[in-house]
Structure 1
Amino acid sequence: MEDQRPGPGAQIAGLIFAVLLLDPDLVVREANPAAEDLLHRSAKRLVGAKLLDVLELDDARVAMRLREADARLTVRGMTLRCGARATQVNLTVSPLASHPGWRVMTISEVGQGEMAELPGEETTLRAPAILAHEIKNPLAAIRGAGQLVARKLEEKDRPLAAMISDEVDRIARLVDRMQRLGSERADPVAPVNLHVAVRSAIATVRTAGDSDVELVEEFDPSLPPVLASRDALEQVLINLISNARDACAGAASPRVTIRTRFASGLVSNLKLGRAVRLPIEITVSDNGPGIEPALCDHVFEPFVTSKASGQGLGLALVRKLVRDMDGRIGHQRDERAGLTHFRIHLPLAKNEGEQA
């Protein structure tokens, strides 16, 4: 077994975050597959290129520190640009004591590895379902009592009884969402035509109410079917598109763009203990003001919302449904472009069960 252990090269190649080996002149000398995926360049194009020609950092202090050969760096939540694309990342730089001037840089997208269950998270997700179960029985009794009372009231007082029933129904709908959030049962997955699901979700959002927000489709028509639950995927997209529409409603020219594309690479599904290929990307972007900074790291948590009338369950449910499909979801803000992006990555139907 000792001889079968993977060597350092195989271990680095299997990492889900980008690793770059930099020489004293900040020239890239090695790049793992995750770096190719994150920076959208092949290893052949990366190796031999100067680091700051490949990527642009939004913080001049980081670029200055990189020029110090023995500097150690840890940066969180920094915007990195590679070509036209901006990504929010965490970055580290570690000098190699055995080789003066040489450094190892790691880059990971903010939220990468989010599919791992954190200690206590499973309990947190089940808590709403347990609470919902305890609430439902008394709710039914309140509603029944309200209906009985309404029959004995004078006409002028019946709106008060109707209000009781309406509020009970509203709470019941909230309880149903709480139960779904805590459910351990995932919808079965099957090959799904991605663009049929996206267009169905867009049609639902358009039908839901009048809005001046422009909904724009930017699809790659060549994409093959994804492995997903059609109903769950549509629900995810309806929530994201509706949120994006609400977020940019106050903009001068409100616009939501739904984009699909093929994104190569591996993203680890740590919950299942294996690497799952997630090459299909769906991005919902809006030109609203963005998420409040205090909420950025918590938007997928239950009961977190910036909406005055929101319950904070929509994005928590979205994350659960995406995870149930072995997918991944994250968000980022591109201040230069004035856009907020929510990105979903899903597996291909033909690659079901494929191992890295």
Structure 2
Amino acid sequence: MNSPVSRFLALDLLATPVAVLDGQGMVRFVNAALEDAMGLSRRSLFGVYLPDYFVDPQPMVTALVGAQSNEFAALRYEAQLRRILHNDALPVHVILAPSDQTDEVIVELLPVEQQTRQEREERLLEQAQANKELIRNLAHEIKNPLGGIRGSAQLLEMELDSKELSEYTQVIIREADRLQTLVDRLLAPHRRPHVVSDVNIHEVCERVRTLILAEFPRGLKVLRDYDISIPEFRGDREQLIQAVLNISHNAAQALHERILQGDAQITLKSRILRQVTFGKQRYRLALELHVIDNGPGVPDSIKDRIFFPLISGREGGSGLGLTLAQTFVQQHHGMIECDSEPGRTDFKILIPLP
């Protein structure tokens, strides 16, 4: 048993659940991802008849016969994987192909939910990259003529004798300064160096909690639900504070009505994830930090665009807070997801841990 297992150990590096079967459908090896999916160890799965673990075993039985007779290079179909310990069935996309070894078949089981999530994550990453390029280019295009506009207004003001006309030049200067502030915020993540040190995520949360309660001292509770076993990790503490603060501040502003009623609530919740996949990579450990509020939820009209720059669900909002938060988290090889419905909005920050 040891030599075949050692030959397959590289499969443990894959995020996709994989099983190696003999020609009769008996398990020779399952990787760590399949152990996680089924809730069973590879020792307990060794030698079992894998088709029995499907709601409908017949498609795999037929596929195994086809693989034995070399009828196809690879066969794909949808199935339901029975998870006995979980007492449920997991929808999977099955890819079955003969191995380069005689009397051996490789079965890949891609969870349909995981496949959908991976596609969504890929879209988010592509959008974030496109947003970053758009922001940088747009900010520079605005910045260059802005200095000229402001300088010309100042020179014009020096030539004017009328106080009433000077008020117009002051409007130009003030609006130019406002645009300059906006441009500086757009460029901030790309200008500031990434300062790496040891980060305790709960110190980050406590700093954010203090700042939020200082701004909203009445009608709002900020609850803690921490997993204190989470280790420190290398990261930019100030960037992470800003990311969590931006999300929490948005939540507090969305809770305006509940704050007036006195029952507004934000929960900062930290957890450890094990053997998790996001951003097309599998990580042994990851931090999962939630910012949960009991507000009205994200408007349906912007749900799919909340991380886009200049998109805001609040009148007078700049639409930059979540964009900058996503940028800062991505600089830690992580990502932010949002799940929102009326009465509960959950922003989830995922960051890989060493």
Q: TM-score range by the shorter chain?
A: 0.5 to 0.7
- State the Cα deviation string for residues 24-81 of structure 1 (Å, max 9, x = none): xxxxxx99655777x8x9436xx99xxxxxxxxxxxxxxxxx899989589xxxxxxx
Query: What displacement does 1:160 show?
Result: 4.0
Query: What displacement does 1:192 show?
Result: 0.9
Closer, same or farther: CA 110–94 of 1 in aligned 2, 3 Å: closer
User: Is 1:259 matched up with 2:269?
Assistant: yes
User: Is 1:283 matched up with 2:269?
Assistant: no
Distance across 1 between alignment mates of 2:192 and 2:15:
28
- State the Cα deviation string for residues 252-297 of structure 1 (Å, max 9, x = none): 5221111112222233444xxx644442221100111222234333
Select which of 104, 114, 118 maps to 1:108: 114
AA aligned to 1:169 is D
Higher helix share: 2
User: Percent identity of the aligned residues?
Assistant: 27
Structure number, greater radius of gyration? 2
- State the Cα deviation string for residues 291-343 of structure 1 (Å, max 9, x = none): 223433332233333223233332222112111112222122367xx321111
Aligned twin of 1:100: none
- State the Cα deviation string for residues 200-220 of structure 1 (Å, max 9, x = none): 222233344666332222222
Secondary structure, aligned partner of 2:350: strand
Q: Is there any run of 5+ residues in structure 2 with no aligned partner, and where?
A: 20-28, 46-54, 60-76, 81-85, 97-107
User: Is 1:249 matched up with 2:231?
Assistant: no
Give 1:1-356 correspondences, 5 Å limit.
11=11, 13-16=12-15, 33-34=32-33, 42-43=39-40, 72=78, 92=92, 106=111, 107-108=113-114, 111-112=117-118, 114=121, 122-150=129-157, 152=160, 154-155=162-163, 158-180=166-188, 183=190, 187-208=194-215, 212-251=219-258, 252=261, 253-270=263-280, 275-333=282-340, 338-348=343-353, 351=354
Q: Superposition RMSD on alpha carbons, in Å?
A: 4.4
User: Contact 1:245 / 1:256 at 8 angstroms: preserved in 2?
Assistant: yes
TM-score (norm 2): 0.65
Closer, same or farther: CA 200–115 of 1 in aligned 2, 3 Å: farther
Secondary structure, aligned partner of 1:169: helix
Secondary structure, aligned partner of 2:314: coil
- State the Cα deviation string for residues 74-129 of structure 1 (Å, max 9, x = none): 9xxxxxxx9xxxxxxx9655598xxxxxx957132865472688668645421221
Closer, same or farther: CA 69–238 of 1 in aligned 2, 3 Å: farther
AA aligned to 1:108 is Q
AA aligned to 2:170 is A
- Paired positions, count: 295
Query: What displacement does 1:173 show?
Result: 1.7
Query: What displacement does 1:142 show?
Result: 2.1
Query: What displacement does 1:174 show?
Result: 1.5
The structure showing larger relative contact order (alpha-carbon pairs under 8 Å, at least 6 residues apart) is 1
User: Contact 1:248 / 1:287 at 8 angstroms: preserved in 2?
Assistant: yes
Q: Is there any run of 5+ residues in structure 1 with no aligned partner, and where?
A: 21-29, 49-65, 75-81, 83-89, 97-102, 352-356
Distance across 2 between alignment mates of 1:315 and 1:134:
23
User: Contact 2:79 / 2:93 at 8 angstroms: preserved in 1?
Assistant: yes
- State the Cα deviation string for residues 155-194 of structure 1 (Å, max 9, x = none): 555554433332222211221232245x398614321121
TM-score (norm 1): 0.65
